[in-house]
Copies of this chain bind each other. A is one copy, B any other.
Amino acid sequence: MQENLKLEELSELLNSRQLRKLKEVLTEFNEMDIAAFLEEQEAEKTVLVFRMLPKETASEVFAFLEVEKQEYIINSITDHELGTIIEDLYVDDVVDMLEELPATVVKRVLQSAAPDTRKLINQFLNYPENSAGSIMTAEYAGLKKDMTVEQAFDYIRKHGVDKETIYTCYVMNSKRMLEGVVTVKDLLMNPYERFIGDIMDTNVIKAVTTEDQEEVARRFRKYDLLSLPVVDHEDRLVGIVTVDDVVDVMEQEATEDFEKMAAMIPSEKPYLKTSVFQLAKNRIVWLLVLMLSSMITGGILAKYEKAFAVIPLLVTFIPMLTDTGGNAGSQSSTMIIRGMAVGEIHTRDIFRVVWKELKVAILVGFVLGMVNYIRLIILYPGKEMLCLTVMLSLMATVILAKTIGAMLPIGAKVFHMDPAIMAAPLITTIVDAISLIIYFQLACSLLGL
């Protein structure tokens, strides 16, 4: 509420062209809020306001902008201005931006960057997508073992302003190999004359450039980290991952799992920014696969045409059976997929998990079956065998659905497939088919069809 009010004030100043006053007021705003304000402005006004910002603020605001605005600004400013911004940005933010910009704009950005920066950007662009390397940044504070606390402070005072974090400093030897970490808190708690080598923590939690970003996020959660050093395969420090990027990774990975489990190809952009055509494309693939696979279920039903020609009532229980089976199965697969995503359940737990799900399934299946039997026996007095058929089918369906629901995601993981994709959309189709076979087989034998 308050934020919107303040942004309105900025708009008013801009629209009434009180530019000097606007420039003054802008200094009181948070970079994120200025970015939000710029997002709302039309193209020319964006550049007008952007140029009003003090140099340091400008780069930070730029990093917060959506890629469309960034592109517009890049195309409207001079090479020199662009070069200054690129130098001020953290290399991970530049890389994120370049991955979304058109090739011609990328070329101009790289040309405007200083040679060292350009080399670094190119190196970072080569890390595989979703790897630790792809989310790290190069702006860390590096210290040496033989520095004193006082020298460390001098170093931080001199170079700290450009670093993404100074609160954890990394101690390297002459080959840039990581020897320890020391926090600013450690520095503050120790006398000026002590050596970094004596106060650093040598038990460093780190990641390798090629490790998966989900693994990195798990390490942050487990050890409550603010930053994590990333080393190459020769154990040389190449960058750090900071917690703000990990927060984004966690949100993004959870969103992807939601999308996959609802049978969609994960989208690159937020919902409101994704085109109708792209959304349709992401959704239609799985819908087609699942539609065609539910024809198998249709084929099974066709085999029992005679059964429901004799007792049409049998058909009316199909939705209840298949829906309950589907729901019971996705309950199990969801728990297991999520458990694996947060690192609680591992493939080695397969027997334990399946056994647990089996016990839950028997409990749940029994209760559901009994409730159903009582309901049916009241509704259809005298049709005990039919009621029994429905009850037994329901119990068997729930037990099978939950067992399959537990095994599918772990099985997918064993074969290095994505549990979220493999298990969630497929479970309904599989459970549908199996439950109908059980139902009609039971009906044929119990009702003598």
**In the complex, chain B residues whose CB is within 8 Å of the CB of A221:** 247-248, 251
Q: Is A194 an interface residue (CB 8 A)?
A: no
Q: Is A166 an interface residue (CB 8 A)?
A: yes
Known: A189-B157, A243-B226. A324 touches B264 (CB 8 A): no
Beta-carbon nearest neighbor of A224 in chain B: B244
A259 touching B335, Cβ below 8 Å = yes
Q: Is A172 an interface residue (CB 8 A)?
A: no
Q: For chain A residues 195-228, which have a beta carbon within 8 Å of chain B?
A: 202-203, 205, 220-226
A287 to B401, CA, bound (A): 13
**In the complex, chain B residues whose CB is within 8 Å of the CB of A327:** 262-263, 286-287, 290, 425, 428
Q: Is A234 an interface residue (CB 8 A)?
A: no
A166 to B167, CA, bound (A): 10
A161 touching B184, Cβ below 8 Å = no
**In the complex, chain B residues whose CB is within 8 Å of the CB of A356:** 276, 279
In this complex, how many residues of chain A approach chain B with their Cβ under 8 Å: the count is 111
Beta-carbon nearest neighbor of A335 in chain B: B271
Beta-carbon nearest neighbor of A340 in chain B: B271
Q: Is A342 an interface residue (CB 8 A)?
A: yes
A203 touching B29, Cβ below 8 Å = yes
Which of B30, B271, B309 interacts with A344 by CB under 8 Å?
Answer: B271
**In the complex, chain B residues whose CB is within 8 Å of the CB of A222:** 32
Which of B188, B280, B309 interacts with A156 by CB under 8 Å?
Answer: B188
Known: A323-B290, A323-B428. A251 touches B250 (CB 8 A): yes
B166 touching A360, Cβ below 8 Å = no
**In the complex, chain B residues whose CB is within 8 Å of the CB of A166:** 184-185, 188
A166 to B30, CA, bound (A): 21
Question: Interface readout for A301-345 with B: 1 if CB under 8 Å, 0 if not?
Answer: 110010011001101111110111011101101111111001011
Among A132-140, A292-300, A411-419, the stretch in contact with B: A292-300
**In the complex, chain B residues whose CB is within 8 Å of the CB of A371:** 288, 291
Q: Is A434 an interface residue (CB 8 A)?
A: no
B429 touching A270, Cβ below 8 Å = no
Q: Is A272 an interface residue (CB 8 A)?
A: yes
A339 touching B271, Cβ below 8 Å = yes
Q: For chain A residues 137-196, which have a beta carbon within 8 Å of chain B?
A: 153, 156-157, 160-161, 166-167, 184-185, 188-189
B297 touching A320, Cβ below 8 Å = yes
Beta-carbon nearest neighbor of A156 in chain B: B188
**In the complex, chain B residues whose CB is within 8 Å of the CB of A441:** none
Q: Is A254 an interface residue (CB 8 A)?
A: yes
Q: Is A258 an interface residue (CB 8 A)?
A: yes
Residue ranges of A at the interface with B (Cβ–Cβ < 8 Å): 28-30, 32, 153, 156-157, 160-161, 166-167, 184-185, 188-189, 202-203, 205, 220-226, 243-244, 246-248, 250-251, 254-255, 257-259, 261-264, 270-272, 276-277, 279-280, 283-284, 286-288, 290-292, 294-295, 297-299, 301-302, 305, 308-309, 312-313, 315-320, 322-324, 326-328, 330-331, 333-339, 342, 344-345, 349, 352-353, 356, 359-360, 363-364, 367-368, 371-372, 375, 398, 425, 428-429, 432, 436
Add 16 more A-B contacts to A160-B185, A279-B356, A283-B331 (CB < 8 A).
Answer: A166-B185, A167-B184, A184-B188, A246-B247, A247-B247, A258-B261, A258-B334, A258-B337, A258-B338, A271-B353, A272-B345, A280-B363, A287-B327, A290-B323, A298-B317, A301-B319
